[in-house]
Amino acid sequence: MARFWHVFTVRNLLVVSLAINASFILRLGYETIDIKREQLLTGKRAQGEALPTQRAHLPVSTTSSPSSTPFPGSDRDRVINLDHGDPTMYERFWQQVGEKATIVIPGWQSMSYFSDIGNLCWFLEPEFARQVLRLHKIVGNAVTEDRHIVVGTGSTQLFQAVLYALAPPDAEEPVSVVSAAPYYSSYPAITESLKSGLYRWEGDALSFSKEGQFIELVTSPNNPDGYVRGSVLNKSGGVLVHDFAYYWPQYTPITYPADYDIMLFTVSKTTGHAGMRIGWALVKDREIAKRMVKYIELNSIGVSKDSQLRAAKVFEVVSDSCESSSNTTESLFEFAYHLMMERWQNLRAAVKHSGIFSLPEFSPGFCMFKGRLFEPQPAFAWLKCEEPIEDCERFLRSNKILTRSGRHFGVGLQYVRISLIDRDDNIDLFVERLSNIRKDNLCQHMGE
């Protein structure tokens, strides 16, 4: 913490002050978006990250009586959308960074389909590859030696590239795809979307007993519940795919450099740049990497060069700030670590105050990157509603908090996933609203 507060010299305070002004102006914009969002949700619904279901309209009755609206001030009717993992909490960091992270692309640059014709992944920008290797080396979260880097339009496209690469093209039966529940809600949606004859979603790995080849998806830390995970299937015929989207030191201690055959990462959860749509895979086997490249060639003839160049630039800034001995530049990981810590503290306090919710408990681990022990503080809260609430998503929605129901993750309705990487005002309001829902006033919150 001492190091964190060192940054506030007079000059920096000025910068922060200007950033706050900018932030206020920007928030005026956000408010407009939120109003629009609400209009949408009562009429059309917002669309976003792999939405598994059509969202039902908000019941008008929740705002009809003043006594049933315990949220004071102008925010009381605002719908808080924490369904998607939109990493907008990072905007403030990049505003503070300023010009250093700006990218300039002249009109004549990066026009060709090809980025690096000598590379197996011919659409991979060499500078992006360099910065990926550098960042992994600094953070120590993955072994990069003897690996092929495959860039994708987010790790979502890479996940599909992996399925294509691993599925035997001439097999009689589709290969089974499994993951231990609760699993990332997009896995089944994506795997089933095209009714592919190459692969088939078989659900929870823990109850999987089929014979034949399978792919096990291991997300660690897990989306939605934040636990560090390993493979659960101990039988032959399987290939493991490790999704390390959240294996970064703002969310979880970096206890070892991951060293698996196929590892997926994404810029969106590393630096917050979801709009870039850039992910990367570290792949040991050359033939698998080649087939992944073939998928991306067929699916989109490569990956945006502009976003790869921009990702390289923001990675460079992140790595520079980690390596810098001067305390005038705070690192992204410090910024996000402290923000996540604060949010988890506030959330746990609200949950305790409320008495009708519960959260996962984590053991601390020693982070090699930070050189200290800390507890995981995941990007999502995996919230459980206690009795008498049966449908947690529905209950929170009636309180104008949009979350993703546990049923999309292969478990029950008593769970929801809540994004904790949204903008400050949304998270603050959410925590405040949650802490006001208490056992003794539950009936009015249930609209009864």
Q: How far is CA 272 from CA 35, 38, 86, 311, in A?
A: 24, 24, 8, 11
Q: What's the number of CA atoms in the CB half-sphere (13 Å) around residue 306?
A: 9
Residue selected from 13, 298, 373, 443 as contacting a copy of itself according to rule CB under 8 A: 298
Answer yes or no whether residue 29 interacts with a copy of itself by CB under 8 A. no
User: Is the CB of 95 or the CB of 354 nearer to a copy of itself?
Assistant: 95
User: Is the CB of 147 or the CB of 313 nearer to a copy of itself?
Assistant: 313
* Contact (CB, 8 A) for 403 and 396: yes
Residues 6+ apart with CB under 8 A from 126: 115, 116, 119
Local structure of 246: helix, strand or coil: coil
Applying CB under 8 A, the span of 101-109, 175-183, 399-407, 429-437 interacting with a copy of itself comes to 101-109
Q: What is the DSSP letter of 355?
A: S
Residue selected from 222, 223, 252, 307 as contacting a copy of itself according to rule CB under 8 A: 307
Answer yes or no whether residue 320 interacts with a copy of itself by CB under 8 A. no
Residue selected from 101, 262, 385, 402 as contacting a copy of itself according to rule CB under 8 A: 101
Residue selected from 80, 83, 87, 222 as contacting a copy of itself according to rule CB under 8 A: 87
Local structure of 383: helix, strand or coil: strand
Residue selected from 55, 78, 84, 417 as contacting a copy of itself according to rule CB under 8 A: 84
Answer yes or no whether residue 197 interacts with a copy of itself by CB under 8 A. yes
Answer yes or no whether residue 275 interacts with a copy of itself by CB under 8 A. yes
Sort 189 into a burial class: Cβ within 10 Å, 0-12 / 13-18 / 19+: middle
Residues 6+ apart with CB under 8 A from 148: 120, 121, 282, 283, 284, 286, 289
Local structure of 138: helix, strand or coil: helix
Q: How far is CA 247 from CA 7, 210, 260, 345, 437, in A?
A: 26, 30, 13, 21, 33
Residue selected from 4, 6, 9, 48 as contacting a copy of itself according to rule CB under 8 A: 48
Answer yes or no whether residue 35 interacts with a copy of itself by CB under 8 A. no
Burial 44-64, CB ≥16 within 10 A → b, else e: ebbeebbbbeebeebeeebee
Residue selected from 7, 124, 139, 190 as contacting a copy of itself according to rule CB under 8 A: 190
**Shortest separation between residue 99's beta carbon and a copy of itself, angstroms:** 7
User: Is the CB of 21 or the CB of 441 nearer to a copy of itself?
Assistant: 21
Answer yes or no whether residue 49 interacts with a copy of itself by CB under 8 A. yes
Residue selected from 131, 141, 156, 250 as contacting a copy of itself according to rule CB under 8 A: 156
**Shortest separation between residue 228's beta carbon and a copy of itself, angstroms:** 25
Cis peptide before 182 (omega within 30 of 0): yes
User: Is the CB of 30 or the CB of 369 nearer to a copy of itself?
Assistant: 30
User: Is the CB of 298 or the CB of 349 nearer to a copy of itself?
Assistant: 298
Answer yes or no whether residue 196 interacts with a copy of itself by CB under 8 A. yes
> Hey, which residues does 151 pair with through a beta bridge?
280
User: Is the CB of 89 or the CB of 359 nearer to a copy of itself?
Assistant: 89
Applying CB under 8 A, the span of 39-47, 202-210, 340-348, 408-416 interacting with a copy of itself comes to 39-47
- Structure tokens, 97: 């960074």
401-440 residues near a copy of itself, rule: CB under 8 A: none
335-394 residues near a copy of itself, rule: CB under 8 A: none
* Contact (CB, 8 A) for 162 and 281: yes
CA dihedral 405, 410, 415, 419 (to 10 degrees): -60
User: Is the CB of 293 or the CB of 367 nearer to a copy of itself?
Assistant: 293
Answer yes or no whether residue 15 interacts with a copy of itself by CB under 8 A. no
| Length of the chain (residues) | 448
Answer yes or no whether residue 126 interacts with a copy of itself by CB under 8 A. no
Answer yes or no whether residue 273 interacts with a copy of itself by CB under 8 A. yes
Note the Cα 225 to chain centre separation in Å: 12
User: Is the CB of 121 or the CB of 282 nearer to a copy of itself?
Assistant: 121
Amino acid at 325: S
